Each structure stands twice: as structure tokens, then as C-alpha cells.
Amino acid sequence: MTTTSSAQRVRTGRITFFVALAVFAQESTWNLYDSQVPPLLREHIGSAALVGLLMGMDNVLGFFIQPWMGNRSDRTRTSWGRRIPYLVAGMPVAALLFLVIPHVAGSLPLLILVMFGYALVANSFKPIAESLLPDFVPPERRSRANAVVKMASSLTVMVAALISIFLVDAHPKLSFAVPAILMVVSLVVLAVKVRDNRSPAYRTALEEDREELRRTQEHGAAKPRSRVRDTVLDIVRDTDRSRVLLMGSILLFGGAWAASRALITPYGMEVLHLSRGEAGGLTLPSGVAFIVAAYPVARLAERFGRLRVMQAGMTVFAAGMVLCAVVRTPAGVVAGLCVAAAGASSFLVNAVVVLWNLAPSDRVVGTYTGLYTVGWVGGGFLGPALVGGLVDLTGWPLLPLHVAIVGLLAVLAVARISAVQRRSSAGRAL
């Protein structure tokens, strides 16, 4: 028993490292894209709104592409498995398109075309790489594995900042080459080291396919393979409202988190009377706080229950935002944002794990990964707009309180899931 458990921990650690490496490489390109492509657009476009619209194109594409591609990978059966073939095909193309961006920056039509191509391809394999985690890692250990992946993703913000500081001004084209090379290297490591067709989830999916074929041969009625629409309808029609409530909490908390990041710079300028640069640096220490808190929060979730720890952490997030509103000094706001980020890590690490564990079958975890992204991106789009509208009505000093209120609405949704699960006899590992 001990030997088996030890071997399982080793396998979990290996796949966690490889998935974290893939996500780190992907997010390195995304973060540099977000920080350095707007200046390239500004060389051609004077309107900040139009620049913002073009930069938001990747979110719109991701909203539609990620669930569809996650579902497509769920339904794929090859000798390589169901995820790796898409990564092998997509990651080199995305790396090449990212590498080309600064070389076509002199032509606006070409720049927009390459941006669209990169966003299309990179969004296509993003949920596929992340879905390798639940394919290999058992439900009880997914929180700590996902915490490592989130920590790797968070580190890419610092990587992008270092590239911007040391390379962008002197070697602008080389600065885009570094993340592209990281992506190709991570792909090589994945292709050599990871055998997707050996994952427990893939073997379970094959067994379910064989059982379904047997029933079809006996009863003569073939059941169509699940599409994204079928999965969504299954979630909506389920009398157990846990999945609907979880998607609602993802939308709400995604909105609160996005508003706390997107609107804090103008808050610092309007309320704390800081310069734009000083206000923009308010969130930097909170990024460190998130990284420090992510893994301990995952361990607590696996010990005391994910839903319980999520509620506690989201409440801490709201308390941190209240602290920002009460202590209106730069130090007070930085402290409040650090508390909020540490609390938010409980949701960012565990929410997708709960969604994976609520999936009715291992055959649809890729689709569920895509649906998580839809909820998070939807919140990222609607949250700043909603909170910004409330600020228009009440003034900038109350911004953190509005964010806290949206966060507490998400807490209520998760609390309702806990109540539903206590009444349920399903016994799922949440």
C-alpha cells in the first residue's frame, strides 16, 4: 500500500511539473503580448478605445474557442492520447506567430492579422494543456497540483516584466523570441515525457466508450457523442444546482478579481493622489502574496474541504478590499491588496478543481476546463464594467467596497453549493 501510494505521488509530481512548465511557457507569451503589443498598436492608432478593443480580441475568441476545443480533445482517440496531438500541432504555430509580431509591426493590417492568428491558435490549446492535470491527477490531490500550476502562471508576470526591462528597448525583436523559445522547449519536453494515452482518465474514457458500444450493439440505439451544447444543457437541467451555482460563483468572483486589478490604478490616482506609475505599482506586492498563499491554501482545502476553504478565502478577499477602503494610504491599500490576493488564491486554486470533480465523466473534463474559462473571462469582462458603473454613482473612494460586495455575492453562491452537497448522497470529492 505504501509503495503504491509513493509511486502515485511521484507520478503526480512529474505530471504537475510538466503541466506547470507548459502553462508557464504559454502564459509568458500572453503576458508579454498584453504588455508590449499595445505600444505597437499605438504607433498606428491614436484611439485608446480602439487599441483596447483590438487587445480584447483574444478574450472574445477564447470565449467561443476554448470550450469547443476542450470538448474536441475530450472526443479524440489516438495512439498519442487525446491532448498531446493538439499541443504538438498548436504550440509551434503559436510560437511562430508570436515571434513574427514585432517583424510585421510596421504594417497595421499585417499586425492585426498576426495578432488574430496568434490569439486563435493560442486559445485553441490553452484548455487542452490545463486538462492534462485532471487526466493524470486523482481528485483528492488536484488542489495542490493546480496550486503549483497557478504559481507558475503567476511567475510569468515577473518574467514579462524582466523581459520588458532588459530587452524591449534595446532588442525589441529578441524580446518576443525568448517566450517563443520557451514555448517550443516546453513542447519538446511534453512530447518526450508525457504519454497522454496512459493517463487514468483516458483509460477510463476508453472503458466507457467500450461499454457504450456494447450497449449500442445490444439495444441498437447509438448515443451521440457529447457536444458543448449537450454539456451545457446537462448542467442547466440538472436538479442538483451545484454546477450552475459554481459557474455563477466563477462569474461573480472573476468579476470581483478583475475589477480589483483593472480599476486600482485610477483609484490610486483619484483617491491616494499618486502618479500613474506609482498607482500602477500598488498591485505588485499582492502578486507575491498570491504565490506564497497558493500552495498552503491547496493543502488546507484537501484537508478541510475545498468549498469550506473557498468560502473562508473569499471572505478574506472581501475583508482585504474593505481594508483598502478604510485605510486610505498607499501602505494601507498595498496591505489590503495583499490580504485580498492571499484570500483570492483559495478560489483561483480550487474552483476549477471543484468543477472537474463535479463532471459526470472523465470524458468531459476538457469541456469543463473550457467552461471554467468562459465563466472567468465573462466575469473579467462584466466585473470592471459593473463596478465602474457603481463608482460613477458613488465616487472613487467606495471602489473597494463595491468590489467586496461582488466578492461576497460569490461567497453566497459557494455557500449554497455547500448546502446542496450536504443534502446530496453523491459523495463527490469536493
The predicted pLDDT at position 348 comes to: 94
The answer to whether the beta carbons of residues 182 and 160 sit under 8 Å apart is no
The three-class DSSP label of residue 159 is helix
For the chain, where do the domains classified as CATH 1.20.1250.20 start and end?
2-203, 228-423
The three-class DSSP label of residue 275 is coil
Task: Return d(Cα 402, Cα 398) in angstroms, integer.
Answer: 6
- In Å, how far are 112, 268, 328, 349, 419 from 274, measured between CA atoms? 34, 6, 12, 32, 45
Q: What is the CA radius of gyration of the chain?
A: 22
Cβ-Cβ contacts under 8 Å for 292 (sequence gap 6 or more):
342
The predicted pLDDT at position 275 comes to: 84
> In this predicted model, what pLDDT tens digit does every residue of 315-354 receive, in sequence order?
999 999 999 999 999 999 999 999 999 999 999 999 999 9
The three-class DSSP label of residue 69 is helix
Phi, psi of 286 (to 5 degrees): -70, -25
pLDDT over 80 at 9, yes or no: no
Task: Return d(Cα 243, Cα 248) in angstroms, integer.
Answer: 9
- Percent of the chain at pLDDT > 70 equals 93
The predicted pLDDT at position 35 comes to: 74
The predicted pLDDT at position 222 comes to: 55
pLDDT over 60 at 29, yes or no: yes
pLDDT range class, residue 28, cuts 50, 70, 90: confident
The answer to whether the beta carbons of residues 176 and 98 sit under 8 Å apart is yes
pLDDT over 80 at 428, yes or no: no
What are 105's three cell numbers? 509591426
Q: What does the chain come to in residues?
A: 430
> pTM (2 decimals)?
0.84
The answer to whether the beta carbons of residues 130 and 195 sit under 8 Å apart is no
Cβ-Cβ contacts under 8 Å for 217 (sequence gap 6 or more):
none
Q: Which residue carries 472526443 as its cell?
A: 75
Q: What is the signed CA dihedral for 343, 348, 351, 357, rounded to 10 degrees?
A: -120
pLDDT over 70 at 425, yes or no: no
Q: Can you give 295-315 as a three-state secondary structure string?
A: HHHHHHHHHHCHHHHHHHHHH
Say yes or no: domain 228-423 is CATH 1.20.1250.20.
yes
Task: Produce one character per residue of 105-126: b if its CB has 16 or more CB atoms within 10 Å, e if not.
Answer: beeeeebbebbebbbbbbbbbb
Type of residue found at 54: L
CATH for 2-203 is: 1.20.1250.20
